[in-house]
Amino acid sequence: MGDRSEEARKAKLIVVDPRFNRTAAVADIYAPIRPGSNIAFFGGVINYLLSNDKIHHDYVKHYTNAAFLIDPGFGFDDGLFSGYDEVKRSYGSKDTWKYQMGADGFAKIDDTLQDPNCVFQLMKKHYSRYTPEMVNKVCGTPKDAFLKVCEIVATTAAANKTLSYLYALGLTEHSNGSQNIRCAAMIQLLLGNMGMAGGGINALRGHSNVQGITDMCLYAQTLPGYLGAPTDGDKDFATYVAKRTPKALRPGQMNFPQNFPKWFVSLTKAWYGNAATKETNFAYDYFPKLGGASDALSIFNDMFHGKVNGFFCQGFNPLASLPNKKKVGDALAKLKYMIVIDPLATDTSEFWKPHGEFNEVDPSKIATEVFRLPATFFAETSGTLTNSGRVVQWGWKAANAPGDSKDDAEIVAEIFLTLRAMYAKEGGAFPDAIRDLTWAYNQPFSPSPEEVLREINGKALVDLTVPKDPTKILFKAGDQLPSFGFLRDDGSTSCGNWIYCGTWSQAGNNTARRDNSDPSGLGQTLNWGFSWPVNRRILYNRASADLQGKPWDSSRTVLKWTGKAWGGNDVPDMRPNAAPEEYVMPFIMTPEGVGRLFSREIMADGPLPEHYEPFESPIDNNPLHPKVKSNPVARVYKADMEAFGTAKDFPYVATTYRLVEHFHFWTKYSQANAIVQPEQFVEIGEALAKEKGIKAGDRVKVRSNRGFIKAVAVVTKRIKSLEVDGKQVHTIGIPIHWGFKGTAKPGFITNTLTPYVGDANTQTPEYKAFLVNVEKI
Amino acid sequence: MQVNRRQFFKICSAGLGGSSIAVMGFSPTAALAEVRTYKLARATETRSTCPYCSVACGLLVYSTGDRSKNSQSEIIHVEGDPDNPVNRGTLCPKGAGVRDMMQSKDRLKWPEVREPGTNEWKRISWHDAIERITKHMKADRDKNFVTQNKDGVTVNRWPTFAALAASAATNEGGYITVKMLRTLGVTQLDTQARI
């Protein structure tokens, strides 16, 4: 959507946002929306596309699950899908959300899309309630602005037109954030925009390596490369592997996740070497089993209740970045010990220290022992970062870090090797995995990024021969592998993260490549860095061509069938010799081979996105179904439920966000940024300011049911009040960047105000829509 | 033969014509025409990407020193990398100011500890820090490690220890971290990806 596409293809820029922001100022269309009403808006767009027949028919019919038949018992009534368990606040049974299966073992489909139980018809029915009038009532978006957005979006249903969808935390930080993203994906599938150059769903994520750290899976539910982590429910290795190795749901599909055993076994070889053998079930017992909820909110809730003793806090400032600062601070005070690893003196590291009204605590009553270890910053160490477009780029070290700082790998190595020595000497609980972990780095206390990336990439452990001709050697023992296609499940290959296989092949460090040539003119710089998987730049790019393999738009060919193989301007996301007549569909990571308009039993809160109000909502009822107001399956702890406020006491909607001049809670430490945005402020619309007697520059107090902050008022035309369900709703905008540490003027932690509830699937906190009151100080 | 600007004018004012300078066996280098030499001309250029958001704009980082062993380098300038297809030389206000971030007065310089009930930091050595940390960890792990759940399934986890990992760390730093944490039995693990 950059200047290039605006000039070259006359692209239109649409901004939907509660604030008329800087992007809105240069947009073709701006539509205001009430925070927390996104699904009503999206549902309206889906309804518009379906009822006006503005969809890419061939694409929808063949490349999505529109034709798939769903269990006849599936239903949606009064805000709830079939199978709801009110006591457990969850869908106890999702059996009716499944495909109808045929006698041949495959899912049943109806090519005519007419069967009342096919996804297409279910979707049509579900979204028929989302009329432009309903969108206006729920979102406050003027009907004409909404319809203008729909009209432009609908033009991209043409085979040679695309829509690129960009989003950030504005969509994810809601109690139904995952379903927000699903809505966007469904619209892109209906329009035939997935897999196209200039199409797709493009997340603008929040940290320089948030993609890479997600890929390495530094969160509980998965192991590197998104391999589902073992849980208490997997009684043994065979059960674990079987559960995660799906069978194809349609004939002839690639069903790529069927390779799970190769990826997992190669990981066990990278970590546990000779201790990972067939006889030991590849060290399956060395992997800890997940016992229940494990995410930042559940972790801090456990900590709050005294169930956590030690906390390892690496480059993270939870006191500032998690909801309900008071609860988070109280939780940290229950720890025995905390290890902070950071380049900066963070607010979290001083949660125990009084900082006036910004942090009112009594250190004599806090028994937590806090260690603070200085870490390097970005150009003080070499290594790779992966951006939102999955491009892995190598960065080089430019200078030493100040003082005695060490990089993360060195600090981890010191802790680990010291522990290992202690276990070797004294014994202790389950020392086996600690003893057997591979640590073959030249300098064990300082693993180099080059060595680690080679380990992540993976190698042959024995001579690998061609399966059909054992006399031919493919790779010699010790060779770095070029692709995960060569990984095996018999222990003959090792690989720390299968999707990164190819980053460091026998050709060397492919992430350091710097050839920026773009022969296709599509921005496909295939020799710049390395894009996982296998240097593919556009995922599902088989969908950029029709059933016969002819590009939908020949002026931007991503992939085409050449008669013998797939070729074009990207690495094919398809078996290279899969002829079109074999009918191998593009979405190779699903067992059905197609994109999911209906998500089967995968989501916690329903197979089709439905609008639910934020947990703190300015209106009395959900206009779509009065009986079910907010997400019926979002996890809320009892005390946090009681800490929700109501519109009676807190009549204004608040939404938190970032400024272009600041980065989260970092740049308050940087003088340049502290100069351009020195002091904490909140944005208040002119109408509300007038009502409350607030002038620009006045100091105001903003309160939620969990606490208050004080800030300077910026009175603005950029946030207008909207009429929602017959009521004028004002929104207050609250930038997040301040705290009690740093160079910028000390301020309150914004998350003092925010509610402790997350998305029903990911537990991403609901920072974008909650209730506050405001008064002049 | 190298001459600086002042010497060059001195030579000229001594009555020599410009053309005869070359005859005398030297020609003025390009630097002679400059008012002063640019700092960046003798700086070391290092390629990196921005540490802030996940767009990954390319950066050129300029530092003093030539990377020789024992030389101390200081970063004196950062600008967008015109070769990088992501940003083609441009930077936002955050990236443009990143040098101040690296040189923030709030950078940590050595290990410190805050002991229970006190209101101050104490500087400690790396050795002491690691020893005290690992003692806490081992005592906690040995006491609270769960080898089997109530159904007799081997679970090998350490439920009383939690970790939040950095989404700004490198892939290599992150990988080493998760490799250690899982091996210790940590399942209470999360990262900024969710926040």
Mean pLDDT of the region B103-124: 98
Beta strands in A42-195 (DSSP E): 76-77, 80-81, 84-85, 90-91, 165-167
Residue numbers in chain A where pLDDT is lower than 50 = 1-3
Q: With contacts defined as CB-CB under 8 Å, which chain B residues touch A312?
A: 161-164, 181, 186
Q: Could you say which of B96, B118, B189 has the minimum Cβ distance to residue A294?
A: B189
Token couple for A485 = 């296609």
Which residue in A5, A4, A43, A27 sits closest to A163, CA to CA? A5
Supply A706's token pair. Answer: 């969990």
Q: Is the pLDDT of residue B26 over 80?
A: no
pLDDT of res. A546: 98
Instruction: Output the CATH code of domain A3-203.
Output: 3.40.228.10
Question: Which of B167, B181, B184 should we substitute to test contact with A (largest number of A Cβ atoms within 10 Å)?
Answer: B167
Model confidence at B22: pLDDT above 60: no
pLDDT in tens, A94-143: 999 999 999 999 999 999 999 999 999 999 999 999 999 999 999 999 99
Question: Amino acid letter at A639?
Answer: A
Task: Using CB atoms within 10 Å of the CB of residue A396, give its burial: 0 to 12 exposed, 13 to 18 middle, 19+ buried.
Answer: middle
pLDDT band at B37 (very low <50, low <70, confident <90, very high): confident
Give the global pTM. 0.94
Buried residues in A26-50 as b, exposed as e (16+ CB within 10 A): ebeebbbbbbbbbbbbbbbbbbbbb
pLDDT in tens, A433-461: 999 999 999 999 999 999 999 999 999 99
Q: Which residues in chain A have their CB less than 8 angstroms from residue B113's CB?
A: 369-372
Name chain B contacts of A670, Cβ cutoff 8 Å: 97-98, 100-101, 104
Give the fold, CATH level 3, of B39-102: Phosphorylase Kinase; domain 1 (3.30.200)
The structural domains of chain A, with segments of one domain joined by +, span 3-203, 296-382+398-436, 638-776
Cβ contact (<8 Å) for B85 and A518? yes
Contact status of A410 with chain B (Cβ, < 8 Å) = no
Q: What is the CA angle A392-A395-A398, rounded to 5?
A: 170
| Dmax (CA) of chain A | 86
Region B28-37: what's the mean pLDDT? 59
Task: State pLDDT tens for residues B152-179.
Answer: 999 999 999 999 999 999 999 999 999 9
What's the rounded Cα separation, in Å, for the pair B146 and B157?
Answer: 5
Task: Write out chain A residues lying below 8 Å of B69, CB-based.
Answer: none
Q: Which of A3, A204, A213 to mutate to test the interface with B (most CBs of B within 10 A)?
A: A213
Query: Check: CATH 3.40.50.1100 for A638-776?
Result: no
Q: Is the pLDDT confidence value at B14 over 80?
A: no
A 192-221 → B contacts, CB under 8 A: 204-220
Q: Give me the residue from B109, B118, B154 closest to A404, CB to CB.
A: B109
Q: Report H helices in B39-125.
A: 93-96, 98-102
Q: Is the dihedral of CA A186, A191, A197, A199 positive or negative?
A: negative
Query: Which among A508, A383, A661 is positioned nearest to B49, based on CA atoms?
Result: A383
- What is the reported pLDDT for B11? 44
Residues 126-145 of B with CB under 8 A from A: 126, 129-134, 136-138, 140-142, 144-145
> Residue A32: is the preceding peptide bond cis (ω within 30°)?
no
Q: What is the CATH number of domain A296-382+398-436?
A: 3.40.50.740
H/E element, A642: helix A638-642
User: Hey, how many other C-beta atoms are within 10 angstroms of the C-beta on B4?
Assistant: 12
Q: Which residues of B94-110 are buried (b: 16+ CB within 10 A; e: fewer)?
A: bbbbbbbbbebeebbeb
Alpha-helix runs per DSSP H in A427-557: 432-436, 449-457
Of the candidates B110, B130, B179, the beta carbon closest to that of A271 is on B179
Nearest-Cα distance to chain B for A281, in Å, is 13
